[in-house]
Protein backbone atom coordinates (compact mmCIF):
# COMPACT_ATOMS: atom_id res chain seq x y z
CA UNK A 1 0.00 0.00 0.00
CA UNK A 2 1.30 3.45 -0.83
CA UNK A 3 2.16 5.56 2.19
CA UNK A 4 -0.53 8.30 2.18
CA UNK A 5 1.76 10.96 3.56
CA UNK A 6 4.94 9.79 1.91
CA UNK A 7 7.39 12.60 1.32
CA UNK A 8 9.56 12.48 -1.81
CA UNK A 9 13.20 12.28 -0.76
CA UNK A 10 15.36 15.30 -1.37
CA UNK A 11 18.17 14.90 -3.92
CA UNK A 12 21.01 13.62 -1.70
CA UNK A 13 24.60 14.67 -1.94
CA UNK A 14 25.73 11.22 -0.92
CA UNK A 15 24.40 8.02 -2.52
CA UNK A 16 20.85 7.49 -1.18
CA UNK A 17 19.93 4.61 1.09
CA UNK A 18 19.13 1.65 -1.15
CA UNK A 19 16.20 -0.51 -0.08
CA UNK A 20 15.51 -3.95 -1.54
CA UNK A 21 12.43 -3.86 -3.77
CA UNK A 22 9.58 -6.23 -2.98
CA UNK A 23 10.13 -8.40 -6.08
CA UNK A 24 13.90 -8.12 -6.10
CA UNK A 25 15.74 -11.37 -5.43
CA UNK A 26 18.80 -10.94 -3.23
CA UNK A 27 22.08 -12.29 -4.53
CA UNK A 28 22.88 -15.83 -3.45
CA UNK A 29 26.63 -15.47 -3.96
CA UNK A 30 27.51 -14.60 -0.33
CA UNK A 31 25.56 -17.61 0.94
CA UNK A 32 27.12 -19.93 -1.67
CA UNK A 33 30.62 -18.86 -0.67
CA UNK A 34 30.05 -19.05 3.08
CA UNK A 35 31.60 -22.54 3.43
CA UNK A 36 34.74 -21.36 1.64
CA UNK A 37 34.93 -18.21 3.80
CA UNK A 38 35.22 -20.38 6.91
CA UNK A 39 38.72 -21.31 5.61
CA UNK A 40 39.91 -17.69 5.77
CA UNK A 41 43.32 -17.37 7.45
CA UNK A 42 43.17 -15.97 10.99
CA UNK A 43 39.71 -17.14 12.03
CA UNK A 44 41.19 -20.17 13.77
CA UNK A 45 38.79 -22.70 12.28
CA UNK A 46 40.85 -24.11 9.41
CA UNK A 47 43.42 -25.99 11.54
CA UNK A 48 40.66 -27.66 13.54
CA UNK A 49 38.78 -28.58 10.40
CA UNK A 50 41.83 -30.26 8.90
CA UNK A 51 42.49 -32.04 12.19
CA UNK A 52 38.90 -33.27 12.35
CA UNK A 53 39.14 -34.66 8.81
CA UNK A 54 42.39 -36.47 9.69
CA UNK A 55 40.76 -37.86 12.83
CA UNK A 56 37.80 -39.05 10.81
CA UNK A 57 40.14 -40.88 8.39
CA UNK A 58 41.93 -42.51 11.34
CA UNK A 59 38.59 -43.63 12.73
CA UNK A 60 37.58 -45.16 9.38
CA UNK A 61 40.92 -46.98 9.03
CA UNK A 62 40.71 -48.21 12.62
CA UNK A 63 37.16 -49.46 12.13
CA UNK A 64 38.24 -51.38 9.04
CA UNK A 65 41.17 -52.99 10.85
CA UNK A 66 39.14 -53.76 13.96
CA UNK A 67 36.60 -55.65 11.86
CA UNK A 68 39.37 -58.25 11.26
CA UNK A 69 40.71 -58.83 7.76
CA UNK A 70 37.96 -56.99 5.89
CA UNK A 71 40.77 -55.30 4.00
CA UNK A 72 43.73 -57.69 4.19
CA UNK A 73 46.06 -55.63 1.99
CA UNK A 74 45.42 -52.50 4.09
CA UNK A 75 45.98 -54.46 7.31
CA UNK A 76 49.32 -55.85 6.15
CA UNK A 77 50.51 -52.50 4.81
CA UNK A 78 49.68 -50.70 8.08
CA UNK A 79 51.27 -53.47 10.17
CA UNK A 80 54.56 -53.18 8.24
CA UNK A 81 54.47 -49.38 8.41
CA UNK A 82 53.94 -49.39 12.20
CA UNK A 83 56.67 -52.03 12.58
CA UNK A 84 59.09 -49.95 10.49
CA UNK A 85 58.39 -46.80 12.54
CA UNK A 86 58.18 -48.19 16.07
CA UNK A 87 59.68 -51.68 15.82
CA UNK A 88 56.45 -53.11 17.30
CA UNK A 89 54.46 -55.77 15.53
CA UNK A 90 50.80 -55.36 16.45
CA UNK A 91 47.84 -57.57 15.79
CA UNK A 92 45.56 -56.01 13.13
CA UNK A 93 42.58 -55.89 15.51
CA UNK A 94 44.61 -54.23 18.26
CA UNK A 95 46.02 -51.74 15.77
CA UNK A 96 42.51 -51.02 14.47
CA UNK A 97 41.17 -50.35 17.96
CA UNK A 98 44.06 -47.98 18.70
CA UNK A 99 43.51 -46.03 15.47
CA UNK A 100 39.73 -45.90 16.03
CA UNK A 101 40.09 -44.52 19.55
CA UNK A 102 42.78 -42.05 18.46
CA UNK A 103 40.62 -40.86 15.56
CA UNK A 104 37.54 -40.34 17.72
CA UNK A 105 39.60 -38.42 20.30
CA UNK A 106 41.14 -36.24 17.59
CA UNK A 107 37.71 -35.42 16.13
CA UNK A 108 36.41 -34.51 19.60
CA UNK A 109 39.44 -32.29 20.33
CA UNK A 110 39.10 -30.53 16.96
CA UNK A 111 35.37 -29.93 17.43
CA UNK A 112 36.08 -28.42 20.84
CA UNK A 113 38.81 -26.24 19.32
CA UNK A 114 36.42 -25.08 16.58
CA UNK A 115 33.81 -24.11 19.17
CA UNK A 116 36.40 -22.19 21.20
CA UNK A 117 37.52 -20.31 18.06
CA UNK A 118 33.95 -19.37 17.20
CA UNK A 119 33.26 -18.30 20.78
CA UNK A 120 36.46 -16.24 20.80
CA UNK A 121 35.39 -14.38 17.67
CA UNK A 122 31.89 -13.96 19.12
CA UNK A 123 33.14 -12.48 22.39
CA UNK A 124 35.60 -10.24 20.55
CA UNK A 125 32.59 -8.67 18.79
CA UNK A 126 31.63 -7.09 22.12
CA UNK A 127 28.72 -9.30 23.13
CA UNK A 128 27.73 -8.93 26.78
CA UNK A 129 25.02 -11.59 26.74
CA UNK A 130 27.14 -14.63 27.59
CA UNK A 131 28.97 -17.06 25.36
CA UNK A 132 28.11 -18.23 21.88
CA UNK A 133 26.39 -21.42 23.07
CA UNK A 134 24.25 -19.60 25.65
CA UNK A 135 23.25 -17.00 23.09
CA UNK A 136 22.43 -19.65 20.46
CA UNK A 137 20.25 -21.56 22.94
CA UNK A 138 18.51 -18.35 24.01
CA UNK A 139 17.83 -17.36 20.41
CA UNK A 140 16.41 -20.80 19.68
CA UNK A 141 14.11 -20.49 22.68
CA UNK A 142 12.93 -17.01 21.68
CA UNK A 143 12.31 -18.02 18.06
CA UNK A 144 10.03 -20.79 19.31
CA UNK A 145 8.13 -18.41 21.61
CA UNK A 146 4.43 -17.63 21.29
CA UNK A 147 3.23 -15.27 18.54
CA UNK A 148 2.02 -12.21 20.41
CA UNK A 149 0.34 -9.02 19.24
CA UNK A 150 0.31 -6.09 21.67
CA UNK A 151 -1.84 -3.04 20.96
CA UNK A 152 -1.54 0.35 22.62
CA UNK A 153 0.91 3.17 23.08
CA UNK A 154 2.62 5.39 25.61
CA UNK A 155 4.95 4.30 28.40
CA UNK A 156 2.64 1.49 29.56
CA UNK A 157 3.07 -0.50 26.37
CA UNK A 158 6.84 -0.04 26.18
CA UNK A 159 7.17 -1.08 29.84
CA UNK A 160 5.36 -4.34 29.18
CA UNK A 161 7.41 -5.04 26.04
CA UNK A 162 10.62 -5.01 28.11
CA UNK A 163 9.31 -8.04 29.94
CA UNK A 164 7.76 -9.88 26.98
CA UNK A 165 10.98 -9.72 24.94
CA UNK A 166 12.64 -12.15 27.36
CA UNK A 167 10.12 -14.86 26.43
CA UNK A 168 9.61 -14.54 22.68
CA UNK A 169 10.96 -12.78 19.60
CA UNK A 170 7.63 -13.30 17.79
CA UNK A 171 6.17 -10.03 19.07
CA UNK A 172 4.29 -7.48 16.98
CA UNK A 173 3.50 -4.14 18.61
CA UNK A 174 0.69 -2.17 16.94
CA UNK A 175 1.06 1.44 18.07
CA UNK A 176 -1.24 4.45 18.05
CA UNK A 177 -0.57 7.31 15.62
CA UNK A 178 -2.69 10.03 17.24
CA UNK A 179 0.03 11.75 19.32
CA UNK A 180 0.30 15.48 18.69
CA UNK A 181 2.23 16.75 21.71
CA UNK A 182 5.86 17.53 22.43
CA UNK A 183 8.51 16.53 19.93
CA UNK A 184 6.06 14.38 17.94
CA UNK A 185 3.70 17.33 17.61
CA UNK A 186 6.48 19.57 16.29
CA UNK A 187 7.48 16.96 13.70
CA UNK A 188 3.84 16.54 12.62
CA UNK A 189 3.84 20.20 11.64
CA UNK A 190 6.46 19.30 9.04
CA UNK A 191 4.20 16.64 7.48
CA UNK A 192 5.64 13.62 9.28
CA UNK A 193 3.69 11.12 11.34
CA UNK A 194 4.33 11.16 15.11
CA UNK A 195 7.25 8.86 15.98
CA UNK A 196 7.16 9.13 19.81
CA UNK A 197 5.23 5.98 20.76
CA UNK A 198 6.90 4.00 17.96
CA UNK A 199 10.30 5.13 19.28
CA UNK A 200 9.52 3.99 22.83
CA UNK A 201 8.47 0.52 21.64
CA UNK A 202 11.54 0.12 19.43
CA UNK A 203 13.79 1.11 22.34
CA UNK A 204 12.03 -1.45 24.57
CA UNK A 205 12.60 -4.28 22.07
CA UNK A 206 16.11 -3.23 21.01
CA UNK A 207 19.10 -5.58 21.16
CA UNK A 208 21.47 -2.63 20.80
CA UNK A 209 23.99 -1.79 23.52
CA UNK A 210 22.61 0.09 26.57
CA UNK A 211 24.57 3.20 25.65
CA UNK A 212 23.01 3.27 22.19
CA UNK A 213 19.52 2.77 23.67
CA UNK A 214 20.04 5.60 26.15
CA UNK A 215 21.32 7.87 23.39
CA UNK A 216 18.33 6.96 21.20
CA UNK A 217 15.96 8.00 24.02
CA UNK A 218 17.90 11.14 25.00
CA UNK A 219 15.81 14.32 25.03
CA UNK A 220 17.57 17.62 24.41
CA UNK A 221 17.10 20.25 27.09
CA UNK A 222 19.11 22.97 25.43
CA UNK A 223 20.85 23.63 22.10
CA UNK A 224 18.24 26.12 20.94
CA UNK A 225 15.91 24.66 18.29
CA UNK A 226 16.68 21.09 19.43
CA UNK A 227 15.18 21.68 22.88
CA UNK A 228 12.29 19.31 23.54
CA UNK A 229 13.22 16.86 20.79
CA UNK A 230 14.45 13.35 21.51
CA UNK A 231 17.38 12.10 19.47
CA UNK A 232 15.35 9.06 18.42
CA UNK A 233 12.62 11.26 16.94
CA UNK A 234 15.22 13.21 14.96
CA UNK A 235 16.72 9.91 13.82
CA UNK A 236 13.27 8.96 12.54
CA UNK A 237 12.94 12.31 10.78
CA UNK A 238 16.25 11.79 8.99
CA UNK A 239 15.31 8.27 7.94
CA UNK A 240 11.92 9.52 6.75
CA UNK A 241 13.57 12.09 4.49
CA UNK A 242 16.02 9.49 3.16
CA UNK A 243 13.40 6.87 2.36
CA UNK A 244 10.41 9.10 1.58
CA UNK A 245 8.11 6.81 3.60
CA UNK A 246 7.25 6.61 7.29
CA UNK A 247 6.65 2.85 7.16
CA UNK A 248 10.10 2.27 5.64
CA UNK A 249 11.61 4.63 8.19
CA UNK A 250 10.13 2.48 10.98
CA UNK A 251 11.53 -0.65 9.34
CA UNK A 252 15.02 0.79 8.90
CA UNK A 253 15.22 2.20 12.44
CA UNK A 254 14.08 -1.19 13.76
CA UNK A 255 16.92 -2.85 11.84
CA UNK A 256 19.44 -0.29 13.07
CA UNK A 257 18.60 -1.07 16.71
CA UNK A 258 18.24 -4.84 16.03
CA UNK A 259 14.87 -5.12 17.74
CA UNK A 260 13.42 -8.43 18.91
CA UNK A 261 10.07 -8.52 17.12
CA UNK A 262 8.25 -5.92 15.00
CA UNK A 263 6.75 -2.49 15.62
CA UNK A 264 3.98 -1.29 13.31
CA UNK A 265 1.93 1.92 13.25
CA UNK A 266 -1.80 1.16 13.50
CA UNK A 267 -2.37 3.28 10.41
CA UNK A 268 -0.24 5.21 7.94
CA UNK A 269 -2.85 7.94 7.47
CA UNK A 270 -2.53 11.35 9.09
CA UNK A 271 -5.13 10.88 11.86
CA UNK A 272 -6.25 13.22 14.60
CA UNK A 273 -7.99 12.22 17.81
CA UNK A 274 -11.21 13.88 18.88
CA UNK A 275 -13.60 13.44 21.81
CA UNK A 276 -17.25 14.04 22.56
CA UNK A 277 -17.86 15.04 26.17
CA UNK A 278 -20.90 14.24 28.27
CA UNK A 279 -22.14 17.84 27.96
CA UNK A 280 -22.29 17.41 24.17
CA UNK A 281 -19.23 19.51 23.32
CA UNK A 282 -16.40 18.21 21.13
CA UNK A 283 -12.64 18.72 21.26
CA UNK A 284 -9.88 17.74 18.83
CA UNK A 285 -6.26 16.86 19.55
CA UNK A 286 -4.67 14.12 21.62
CA UNK A 287 -3.23 16.62 24.10
CA UNK A 288 -6.65 18.23 24.63
CA UNK A 289 -8.38 14.87 25.05
CA UNK A 290 -5.77 13.77 27.57
CA UNK A 291 -6.62 16.75 29.80
CA UNK A 292 -10.39 16.41 29.52
CA UNK A 293 -12.92 15.08 32.00
CA UNK A 294 -16.27 13.35 31.40
CA UNK A 295 -15.32 11.78 28.06
CA UNK A 296 -18.29 10.05 26.45
CA UNK A 297 -16.76 8.96 23.13
CA UNK A 298 -13.53 9.36 21.22
CA UNK A 299 -13.17 9.30 17.44
CA UNK A 300 -10.58 9.63 14.70
CA UNK A 301 -10.40 12.19 11.91
CA UNK A 302 -10.71 10.82 9.26
CA UNK A 303 -13.18 8.36 10.79
CA UNK A 304 -12.19 5.18 8.93
CA UNK A 305 -8.43 5.15 8.30
CA UNK A 306 -6.89 2.14 6.63
CA UNK A 307 -4.82 -0.21 8.76
CA UNK A 308 -1.06 -0.36 8.33
CA UNK A 309 0.16 -3.27 6.15
CA UNK A 310 0.97 -6.27 8.29
CA UNK A 311 -1.09 -5.28 11.31
CA UNK A 312 -4.22 -7.23 10.36
CA UNK A 313 -2.19 -10.31 9.34
CA UNK A 314 -0.32 -10.26 12.65
CA UNK A 315 -3.60 -10.14 14.60
CA UNK A 316 -5.00 -12.98 12.52
CA UNK A 317 -1.95 -15.20 13.21
CA UNK A 318 -1.52 -14.30 16.88
CA UNK A 319 -1.66 -16.88 19.68
CA UNK A 320 -2.62 -14.15 22.13
CA UNK A 321 -3.70 -10.52 21.62
CA UNK A 322 -2.79 -8.11 24.42
CA UNK A 323 -4.49 -4.71 24.63
CA UNK A 324 -2.86 -2.15 26.92
CA UNK A 325 -1.65 -1.04 29.34
CA UNK A 326 -1.70 2.66 28.54
CA UNK A 327 -3.89 5.75 28.52
CA UNK A 328 -7.39 4.46 27.86
CA UNK A 329 -8.75 7.13 25.52
CA UNK A 330 -5.51 8.46 24.00
CA UNK A 331 -3.29 5.37 23.60
CA UNK A 332 -5.47 2.24 23.56
CA UNK A 333 -8.87 3.00 22.02
CA UNK A 334 -7.46 5.03 19.05
CA UNK A 335 -5.89 1.81 17.69
CA UNK A 336 -9.23 0.02 17.98
CA UNK A 337 -11.00 2.79 16.05
CA UNK A 338 -9.20 1.65 12.89
CA UNK A 339 -12.02 -0.50 11.43
CA UNK A 340 -9.82 -3.27 9.99
CA UNK A 341 -7.99 -3.71 13.29
CA UNK A 342 -11.20 -3.83 15.33
CA UNK A 343 -12.76 -6.36 12.93
CA UNK A 344 -9.63 -8.55 12.96
CA UNK A 345 -9.61 -8.62 16.77
CA UNK A 346 -13.29 -9.52 16.99
CA UNK A 347 -12.87 -12.35 14.46
CA UNK A 348 -9.69 -13.71 16.05
CA UNK A 349 -9.98 -16.98 17.96
CA UNK A 350 -6.93 -16.22 20.11
CA UNK A 351 -7.42 -15.00 23.71
CA UNK A 352 -7.79 -11.20 23.90
CA UNK A 353 -6.31 -9.96 27.13
CA UNK A 354 -6.78 -6.42 28.39
CA UNK A 355 -4.04 -5.35 30.83
CA UNK A 356 -5.70 -2.80 33.05
CA UNK A 357 -3.85 0.25 34.30
CA UNK A 358 -2.63 0.38 37.90
CA UNK A 359 -3.46 4.05 38.46
CA UNK A 360 -6.13 6.37 37.06
CA UNK A 361 -5.15 9.30 34.89
CA UNK A 362 -6.10 12.80 36.08
CA UNK A 363 -8.94 14.05 33.92
CA UNK A 364 -9.03 11.26 31.36
CA UNK A 365 -10.01 8.42 33.73
CA UNK A 366 -10.60 10.15 37.06
CA UNK A 367 -12.59 7.87 39.37
CA UNK A 368 -12.43 4.86 37.01
CA UNK A 369 -12.44 1.30 38.31
CA UNK A 370 -11.23 -1.67 36.27
CA UNK A 371 -14.78 -2.33 35.05
CA UNK A 372 -15.05 1.27 33.79
CA UNK A 373 -11.99 0.72 31.60
CA UNK A 374 -13.42 -2.52 30.18
CA UNK A 375 -16.86 -0.93 29.69
CA UNK A 376 -15.35 1.98 27.73
CA UNK A 377 -13.55 -0.37 25.32
CA UNK A 378 -16.69 -2.45 24.73
CA UNK A 379 -18.78 0.72 24.29
CA UNK A 380 -16.48 1.91 21.50
CA UNK A 381 -15.84 -1.39 19.71
CA UNK A 382 -18.53 -3.85 20.82
CA UNK A 383 -18.58 -7.28 22.39
CA UNK A 384 -15.93 -9.79 21.35
CA UNK A 385 -13.01 -7.39 21.52
CA UNK A 386 -11.99 -8.71 24.97
CA UNK A 387 -12.09 -12.19 26.47
CA UNK A 388 -9.89 -11.70 29.57
CA UNK A 389 -8.76 -8.79 31.76
CA UNK A 390 -5.59 -8.75 33.87
CA UNK A 391 -6.35 -6.86 37.10
CA UNK A 392 -3.68 -5.87 39.57
CA UNK A 393 -4.18 -7.34 43.04
CA UNK A 394 -1.11 -5.67 44.53
CA UNK A 395 -1.15 -2.62 46.74
CA UNK A 396 0.56 0.75 46.62
CA UNK A 397 2.37 2.15 49.66
CA UNK A 398 0.11 4.64 51.52
CA UNK A 399 2.60 7.51 51.33
CA UNK A 400 3.06 7.00 47.57
CA UNK A 401 -0.71 6.72 47.03
CA UNK A 402 -1.28 9.94 48.95
CA UNK A 403 1.15 11.79 46.71
CA UNK A 404 -0.67 10.51 43.62
CA UNK A 405 -4.02 11.60 45.05
CA UNK A 406 -2.68 15.11 45.50
CA UNK A 407 -2.09 15.22 41.73
CA UNK A 408 -5.56 13.85 40.91
CA UNK A 409 -4.68 10.17 40.32
CA UNK A 410 -5.80 7.18 42.35
CA UNK A 411 -5.52 3.40 42.57
CA UNK A 412 -7.63 1.50 40.01
CA UNK A 413 -9.91 -0.75 42.05
CA UNK A 414 -9.85 -4.31 40.64
CA UNK A 415 -13.64 -4.91 40.80
CA UNK A 416 -13.49 -8.41 39.31
CA UNK A 417 -17.21 -9.16 39.79
CA UNK A 418 -18.27 -6.13 37.74
CA UNK A 419 -15.78 -7.05 35.01
CA UNK A 420 -17.17 -10.57 34.83
CA UNK A 421 -20.72 -9.21 34.42
CA UNK A 422 -19.49 -7.50 31.24
CA UNK A 423 -18.67 -10.92 29.73
CA UNK A 424 -14.92 -10.65 30.33
CA UNK A 425 -13.07 -13.14 32.53
CA UNK A 426 -11.02 -11.35 35.24
CA UNK A 427 -7.52 -12.58 36.10
CA UNK A 428 -6.05 -11.11 39.28
CA UNK A 429 -2.32 -10.97 39.97
CA UNK A 430 0.15 -8.73 41.77
CA UNK A 431 2.16 -7.09 38.97
CA UNK A 432 2.57 -3.61 40.43
CA UNK A 433 6.01 -2.05 40.80
CA UNK A 434 5.63 0.55 43.53
CA UNK A 435 8.51 2.84 44.42
CA UNK A 436 8.35 6.58 43.88
CA UNK A 437 6.54 5.91 40.59
CA UNK A 438 3.75 3.34 40.37
CA UNK A 439 3.79 1.26 37.20
CA UNK A 440 3.60 -2.32 35.99
CA UNK A 441 6.54 -4.55 36.81
CA UNK A 442 7.54 -5.81 33.33
CA UNK A 443 9.06 -9.10 34.53
CA UNK A 444 6.12 -10.03 36.77
CA UNK A 445 3.60 -9.06 34.11
CA UNK A 446 5.38 -11.02 31.37
CA UNK A 447 5.74 -14.08 33.60
CA UNK A 448 2.04 -13.91 34.46
CA UNK A 449 1.06 -13.63 30.78
CA UNK A 450 3.17 -16.56 29.61
CA UNK A 451 2.10 -18.78 32.50
CA UNK A 452 -1.52 -17.93 31.72
CA UNK A 453 -1.43 -18.42 27.93
CA UNK A 454 -1.73 -22.20 28.16
CA UNK A 455 -4.69 -21.94 30.55
CA UNK A 456 -6.81 -19.58 28.42
Paired sense of beta strands 352-355 and 320-323, if any: parallel
pLDDT digits (tens, 9 = 90+) for 359-377: 999 989 999 999 999 999 9
152's CB contacts (< 8 A; 6+ apart) are 175, 176, 323, 324, 325, 326, 331, 332, 335
> Confidence class of residue 143 from pLDDT cuts 50, 70 and 90?
confident
Q: What is the mean pLDDT of residues 397-426?
A: 94
Model pTM score: 0.75
The topology under which CATH files domain 144-453 is Rossmann fold (3.40.50)
3-state secondary structure of 103: helix
Domain residue spans of the chain: 38-127, 144-453
Assess whether pLDDT exceeds 80 at residue 262.
Answer: yes
The reported pLDDT for the residue numbered 18 is: 43
Average pLDDT, the chain: 82
Are 314 and 172 in contact by the 8 Å Cβ rule? The answer is yes
The reported pLDDT for the residue numbered 272 is: 95
Amino acid sequence: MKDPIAKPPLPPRDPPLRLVEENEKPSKRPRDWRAVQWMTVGIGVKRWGVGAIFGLLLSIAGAILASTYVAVDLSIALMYWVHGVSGALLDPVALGVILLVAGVLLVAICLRGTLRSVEGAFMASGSERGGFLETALQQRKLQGGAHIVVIGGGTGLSTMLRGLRDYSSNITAVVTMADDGGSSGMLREGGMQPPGDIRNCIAALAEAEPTVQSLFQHRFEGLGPLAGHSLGNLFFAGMWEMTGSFSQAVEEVSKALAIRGRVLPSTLEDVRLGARLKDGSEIVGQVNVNKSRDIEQVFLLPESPQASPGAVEAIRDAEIIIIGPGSLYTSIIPNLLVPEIAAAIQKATAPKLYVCNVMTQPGETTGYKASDHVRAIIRHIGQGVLTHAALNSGRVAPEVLERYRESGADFVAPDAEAVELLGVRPLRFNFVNSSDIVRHNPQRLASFIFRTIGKM
